[in-house]
Chains A and B, each alone.
Chain A
């Protein structure tokens, strides 16, 4: 059992709290945990990590978020071997920031330089891009990932 967990990177592990959260995100019902002072966090939590309040309520994520920073990953970990190059971004959604993979953008453009072979149909990602959030699949092994997609503003 230990060996099995080690070789699949823990993908078969049940993570109560997180699993329900990503299920909800997949159904378009993503949420953050919010304390009375307005600090946002992601589950599982018993207290607010900022202030220690134990009074946490689920609050629906806004429909749209904004990319605050991103990177184009060329050297992946094994679970993303067939996904590279891909764009990972941190985006603000109301009380929380989420980290996810940006789909529907061209990883070969918008990075350090335009490279040959980039797909002109997909737009380049940049700081400030408005995105929606859902759940996608890793190309490498089908594992679930937080996925952002640019939307028209």
Chain B
């Protein structure tokens, strides 16, 4: 086993780029990652690439060789698909490959192109992350599934739309200085509450937008970083993954996310830390209720207490544990297959001190990234630490 370093990170601006091809988006992100890393393209030994709906959005399967070309690397390339956790699992396999000593340099990340579809097409594309026979045919949309979880949470623990509006408002505030964010626009709690419903109790500002974008990361072994004199101060010290029953109705509990509990426990164990050691987190807030469930799974709040965390200031930029300083999926955007890689990029920038929101976490040493697929039938958690 060897230490794994993040040598470089690269993102496209998240947003609406309906005219841009997926290959062009990933080319831009990977170019930035190589520049940031100071690593030559020909050093890359594997490409792990995440993508969810390319077959629907671009009529393009078998995307990994295409993205290897776009990035200018010639090596074994594989596409990973776990719905919204596609890049998270791609990153996890890159980390495991380097940690095992099977490669010294791995490029990982993902891309999603969505805004070339109309709203109905994107809604249908996202819905297929649920069980087609027993959920999608019963009218479950992606927001609808999280709305079912939100109502179950309110029923079990209390809380309501106002607490969720605080999550939305916080994440929009965090996105204001982030040059990669889709929405750099403040949203007040009152505005969030007044927005039209999407799937009650979730309204427009409870939902992430539809986004195009790509993420890329260069992971290297500790030895490679030292031998090549790379400036790579952030290490990935823990990785964990969890899987649950596909359909929400088949879960033991509708108001929590056991797959994320499992992923967090494994990642903390791998890193030899606990929730109390964490200084900041990027979590999968595809909907406001998802951030609430995520921070409970990560052990930052007891079950039933997560709903009040944003309102009470625990997770705000100047709180004890800032969550989604990037703006989160909510305001930064959610190009599905790129999101898990983008979270790693944001945590790395925050820990290195070169993120526009780094001043809020100047002394931070430990960050966590939480990436979820579907209604958290898949979950991936990574722990990143400042190593030098």
User: Is B123 within 8 A of A99, CB to CB?
Assistant: no
Chain A residue numbers with a CB within 8 Å of B198 are 74-75
Chain A residue numbers with a CB within 8 Å of B140 are 88, 99
Tell me if B's interface is mostly helix, strand, loop or mixed. Answer: helix
- Name which residue of chain A comes closest to B146, CB basis: A71
User: Is B254 within 8 A of A90, CB to CB?
Assistant: yes
CA distance A9 to B127 in the complex (A): 11
Which one, A10, A71, A83, contacts B148 given CB within 8 A? A71
Chain A residue numbers with a CB within 8 Å of B147 are 71, 73
User: Is A74 within 8 A of B199, CB to CB?
Assistant: yes
A129 interfacial contact with B, CB 8 Å: no
Q: Shortest Cβ distance from B208 into chain A, in angstroms?
A: 13
Which one, B121, B127, B133, B141, contacts A15 given CB within 8 A? B133
User: Is A18 within 8 A of B149, CB to CB?
Assistant: no
User: Is B143 within 8 A of A75, CB to CB?
Assistant: yes
User: Is B123 within 8 A of A72, CB to CB?
Assistant: no
Chain B residue numbers with a CB within 8 Å of A60 are none
List residues of B (91-137) whose CB comes within 8 Å of A's CBs. Answer: 119-121, 123-124, 127, 132-137
A12 interfacial contact with B, CB 8 Å: no
Chain B residue numbers with a CB within 8 Å of A130 are none
Among B2-10, B228-236, B243-251, B333-341, the stretch that binds chain A is B243-251
- Name which residue of chain B comes closest to A78, CB basis: B120
Chain B residue numbers with a CB within 8 Å of A18 are 133
Q: How many residues of chain A have a CB within 8 Å of chain B?
A: 39
CA distance A97 to B138 in the complex (A): 13
How big is chain B's contact interface, by range?
Answer: 35 or more
User: Is A69 within 8 A of B134, CB to CB?
Assistant: no
User: Is A49 within 8 A of B250, CB to CB?
Assistant: yes
Chain B residue numbers with a CB within 8 Å of A74 are 196-200
User: Is B124 within 8 A of A111, CB to CB?
Assistant: no
A146 interfacial contact with B, CB 8 Å: yes
- Per-position contact with B for A13-56: 1 when CB-CB < 8 Å, else 0? 00100100000000000000000000001100000010000000
Chain B residue numbers with a CB within 8 Å of A71 are 144, 147-148, 150-151, 199-202
Which one, A10, A72, A81, A98, contacts B249 given CB within 8 A? A98
Chain B residue numbers with a CB within 8 Å of A81 are 120
B155 interfacial contact with A, CB 8 Å: yes
Q: A73-B144, A75-B198 are in contact. Are A112 and B161 (CB under 8 A)?
A: yes
User: Is A72 within 8 A of B254, CB to CB?
Assistant: no
CA distance A69 to B140 in the complex (A): 12
B152 interfacial contact with A, CB 8 Å: yes
Which one, A68, A88, A98, contacts B254 given CB within 8 A? A68
B274 interfacial contact with A, CB 8 Å: no
Q: Shortest Cβ distance from A136 into chain B, in angstroms?
A: 10
CA distance A71 to B145 in the complex (A): 8
User: Is A90 within 8 A of B144, CB to CB?
Assistant: no
B72 interfacial contact with A, CB 8 Å: no
Q: Shortest Cβ distance from A13 into chain B, in angstroms?
A: 9
- Per-position contact with A for B242-283: 1 when CB-CB < 8 Å, else 0? 000101111000100000000000000000000000000000
Which one, A69, A99, A143, A144, contacts B135 given CB within 8 A? A99
Q: A71-B151, A99-B249 are in contact. Are A111 and B141 (CB under 8 A)?
A: no
A-B contact pairs, 22 of them (CB 8 A): A18-B133, A49-B250, A69-B151, A71-B144, A71-B151, A71-B202, A73-B144, A74-B199, A75-B123, A75-B141, A77-B124, A77-B136, A81-B120, A88-B138, A89-B148, A90-B152, A97-B250, A98-B134, A112-B197, A127-B155, A143-B137, A145-B139
Q: A74-B197, A96-B249 are in contact. List 19 more A-B contacts (CB 8 A).
A: A42-B134, A70-B151, A73-B143, A73-B144, A73-B199, A74-B199, A76-B120, A76-B141, A77-B136, A78-B123, A89-B148, A90-B248, A99-B135, A99-B140, A101-B139, A112-B161, A144-B137, A145-B138, A145-B139
